[in-house]
Chain A
Amino acid sequence: MIFEVYNRELCVGNIIITGVASSSMVFVGDTETIQLASAFDTPAESLIIGPFVPLQSGVE
């Protein structure tokens, strides 16, 4: 397959972003490959109601 691209004028005025987080990116330019991955875990059992003890006893 041959993929032919004509990049004509590219002009941006303002970019306003609050946050770029957890393996994200803002890119001004050209690149060949991008691989971004993010794992976020907060399941129901991560809400612990009980006395404050260390999560794992004996971990140094």
Chain B
Amino acid sequence: MLQRTSCVDNIRIKQVTFASTLQIGDSRIINQFSRAIALQREAELFFGSEVNFSSYRAFTSPIPFEPIYEPVAIIRHNIPPLIKVGNIDIKGVSSSSSLHIGNSGHIHSEARVKHIRQLLPYGHEQDIIELNKLR
């Protein structure tokens, strides 16, 4: 039986973003999913919703998860039923990640990221100035 108590004195965390969780206390099931298209252009020029997730294989290809089957009898002896942590200092938790203090049952998390960089052709770097004039 899961019966240990987690004890954390201090938590210092700056950001929890994009389908992430900060869970203090026990949980039973955690399901997290996040997807992102990280489009980087040499100039600040974006057209809004210009692309579909389904166009890229990174978002459509299945991830083969093994079915959960554990025919093992586990006997736990939690002699001091306590997990003690002094300080936790984290800058950021992002993209389907989590910080969990306490016991849990089943955790399932998935993150998909497509990174695209778009640069101006050689000799056309000055076009950024022209683009800025148009804006």
A positions within 8 Å CB-CB of B: 1-42, 46-52, 54-56, 59-60
Partner of B75, one of A3, A48, A54, A55: A3
A17 vs B41: C-alpha distance in the bound complex, in angstroms? 30
Q: Which of A15, A32, A48, A51 contacts B85 (CB 8 A)?
A: A15
CA distance A57 to B120 in the complex (A): 19
Q: Which residues on the B side are within 8 Å of A7 (C-beta)?
A: 4, 76-79
| Interface residue ranges, B against A (CB under 8 Å) | 2, 4, 6, 8, 20, 26, 32, 34, 39, 41, 43, 45, 47, 49-52, 55-59, 61, 63, 65, 68, 70-80, 82-122, 124, 131
How far, in angstroms, from A21 to B98 measured CA to CA in the complex?
9
Q: Is the CB of A29 within 8 A of B76?
A: no
Q: How far is the CA of A51 from the CA of B41 in the complex (A)?
A: 10
Chain A residues with Cβ under 8 A from B75's Cβ? Answer: 2-5
Which 7 A/B pairs are nearest by Cβ-Cβ distance? A41-B58, A42-B115, A23-B111, A54-B50, A31-B104, A11-B84, A39-B112
B3 CB to closest chain A CB (Å) equals: 8
Using CB atoms, name the residue of chain B closest to A41: B58
